[in-house]
Amino acid sequence: KCKKWAKSIKKKNRSVYDAVGLQGLATIRTWTGTPVCYVVTTLLRDVNRKLSTLQPILPFLRLFYRALHRLPGSFLRKGRFFRAETGNRPNFKTRMKAGEHFFFVA
């Protein structure tokens, strides 16, 4: 499904397709349109994580970050964003301070 969606971008927005590529677009779609983001963030947040537990997701993360960095500037936004996530983060208020910038990927 993700690859099919990525191919459809070629017709809708050729410049984005050329900049990011088929694999990159499919990777972004995988992150935003499937439970992959929850699996990856759970593995990264695990206090007992080891390189061996992260090894399987590293190729995906490389593709994902490469694709994000290739997105045209028109896809970058500044402003107030709200996000939802599963579970409670006990340190949310200490991490998010008024006036500070942070990166958010959706």
The rounded distance, in Å, linking the Cα atoms of 72 and 13 is 11
Asked if residue 22 lies in contact with residue 63, where contact means CB atoms within 8 angstroms, the answer is no
What's the confidence (pLDDT) of residue 94? 65
- Its pTM stands at 0.66
What's the confidence (pLDDT) of residue 30? 87
Asked if residue 45 lies in contact with residue 6, where contact means CB atoms within 8 angstroms, the answer is no
pLDDT tens, residue order, the chain (106 aa): 778 888 888 888 888 888 888 889 899 888 888 888 888 888 888 888 899 989 999 999 999 999 988 988 877 777 776 656 555 555 656 666 666 665 555 4
